[in-house]
Structure 1
Amino acid sequence: MARNTTRAEPGLRDLNEDQRADPLFVRSIERAMQVLSAFNHADQPMSLSQIAEAAGVDRSAAQRMVHTLRVLGYIERDDMGRGFVPGIRILDHTLDFLRLNHLVRRATPVLQELRKTVRERVDLSLFDDLRVVYAVRLQSKRQTFYTTLVGHSVPTFCSSGGWAILSKLPEDRVRDILDRSDRRPFTPETITDVPALMEKIAETREQGYSLAVGQILTGEIAVGFPVLDADGAPVAAIHVAGSQSEWTPADFTNRFVPLASEAARAISQY
């Protein structure tokens, strides 16, 4: 069954009882974050009961949490009074992350220059286990709502950035990520078979870049390049995306691979 989600699952976030038993671990903060995370897959304002169910807490606890978060500005009523939505204070923390993240700060001017040259969509995504999260999004003449949003995420297993990152990981970790991934397809072209994905990742490793055609969006073609930290570990990826109505895979790679590859090297901490 195909799917269309607003964000991918983060993966390694399930805590065990030893972590919760740590005297430094504050469970009330965990519950508050569960309430905020209840909106992760919402496509409309949520009722108190819906928040309680999504957060895995009882309605009474949800009511107290929502009230407190409303007072603090992290949750508010939507304009039409249909339920609750995240509050404007959330954006303060988004800004804090972006302005204080060294990789984002270093990458942004490089990506801006790349965007001027290629005149196609250019993104920076950060590696987060089963998903990659977009931190910089520079648009082309074609855009949809979700392709404009910082914080949107897609699965590692089927994205150009994900393949680029996986190509720099040990094979056992690659298989672990693929095995834990929800590999339902986004389009008829999405590769979901683990052996086929391993072949694609091996091809990416040999080439130094990934080529993804119609994996997340029908008609989209994208090339991805790993961004490495000072230890040579993949922490992010940059990608250039275009339309199959304008480019063949061969022409797209010939045009953009040299430019984007140079940008990825400039951003990486070798």
Structure 2
Amino acid sequence: MFRNTTRAEPGLRERTRQQRGDSLFVQSVERAMQVLSAFHYADGPLTLSDIAQRAGVDRSAAQRMVHTLRALGYIRRDADAHGFLPGIRILDHTLDALRLDPLVRRATPVLQELRRSVRERIDLSLFDDLRVVYAVRLQTKHQTLNSSLVGHSVPTFCTSGGWAILSKLPEDTVRGILERSDRTPFTPHTITDPEAILDKVAETRANGYSLALNQILIGEIAAGFPVLDTDGRPVAAVHIAASLADWTPEDYAARIVPLGQEAARAISQY
């Protein structure tokens, strides 16, 4: 069984009893976000019952939340009135998150220059525990929808950027991420054994970059480079992806890796 998803598992986000008991914590806001989050793994419009089940609220609460969010433009009816879809107003917040993020602002001109140099797909992903989330995507001409969308996410354990990030973390933290990850493979070549993944992380740490073959897509080669904050912690990764029909791993490493390393250093805050 292989996995095919547009969104990887972000990790545990359960609220503690202390958080829920905080006088400043607004539970109605939490429920509204649960309703919006119901669409995360949907492959089409959701009915009111679908939303209630996925959000973990009763149907009456879901109805009130959906009504309010529709009035505000955050949920809409689909064209055939079969259910509900996210509304256009959500895109306003996506824009705000990206344009105000100092890392994204600093990285974008560097990645644009990198794209002109290598002429392959360039991505910047942000580290989010069990997954990396793409915040900048500079494409080649032949790409799928998922590979072009900002917000698409993939697991940390089996991606070039994920290995690059893991290489900068303590081993006990890496093991914890692997233990909590859903390691269902994407392809017959996806590495899922924890010890084999640790070997890849160690190799990445020694080389200063990762090289992933056929991990998410058959025929894809991707190099990953860690991006660090001022404390030396990994916060993101630069990915450069191409086709194995166009490159041998040796030629790819020789041509692409030095440029990727230079870009990651330029984006990192040392």
Q: Place the TM-score, normalised by the shorter chain, in its bin.
A: over 0.9
Q: Distance in 2 between matches of 1:146 and 1:35?
A: 23
Q: Distance in 1 between matches of 2:35 and 2:15?
A: 16
Tell me what 1:112 maps to: 112
Tell me what 2:179 maps to: 179
The Cα shift of 1:81 comes to: 1.6
Q: How does 1:75-94 map to 2 (within 5 A)?
A: 75-94=75-94
Residue 28 of structure 1 aligns with an amino acid whose one-letter code is S
Q: Distance in 2 between matches of 1:18 and 1:250?
A: 53
Per-residue deviation, residues 120-152 of structure 1 (Å, max 9, x unmatched): 000000000000000000001220000000000
Tell me what 1:211 maps to: 211
Q: Distance in 2 between matches of 1:14 and 1:228?
A: 27
Tell me what 1:69 maps to: 69
Check if 1:23 corresponds to 2:23: yes
Q: How does 1:52-63 map to 2 (within 5 A)?
A: 52-63=52-63
Q: Distance in 1 between matches of 2:237 and 2:52?
A: 36
Q: Distance in 2 between matches of 1:186 and 1:5?
A: 9
Tell me what 1:168 maps to: 168
Q: Distance in 1 between matches of 2:251 and 2:117?
A: 16
Q: How does 1:83-162 map to 2 (within 5 A)?
A: 83-162=83-162
How many residues of Structure 1 are paired with residues of Structure 2 in the alignment?
270
User: CA RMSD for the aligned pairs?
Assistant: 0.7
Residue 145 of structure 1 aligns with an amino acid whose one-letter code is L
Residue 9 of structure 1 aligns with an amino acid whose one-letter code is E
Tell me what 1:195 maps to: 195
Residue 152 of structure 1 aligns with an amino acid whose one-letter code is H
User: If the length of structure 2 is used for normalisation, what is the TM-score?
Assistant: 0.99
Residue 17 of structure 1 aligns with an amino acid whose one-letter code is R
Tell me what 1:14 maps to: 14
Per-residue deviation, residues 90-144 of structure 1 (Å, max 9, x unmatched): 0000000011000000000000000011000000000000000000000012200
Identity %: 74
Q: Distance in 2 between matches of 1:12 and 1:264?
A: 29
Per-residue deviation, residues 232-269 of structure 1 (Å, max 9, x unmatched): 00000001000111111111111100001000000000
The Cα shift of 1:15 comes to: 1.5
Q: Which blocks of at least 5 consecutive residues in structure 1 are unaligned?
A: none
Residue 120 of structure 1 aligns with an amino acid whose one-letter code is E
Q: Distance in 2 between matches of 1:45 and 1:89?
A: 17
User: If the length of structure 1 is used for normalisation, what is the TM-score?
Assistant: 0.99
Q: Which blocks of at least 5 consecutive residues in structure 2 are unaligned?
A: none
Per-residue deviation, residues 189-210 of structure 1 (Å, max 9, x unmatched): 0000000000000000000000
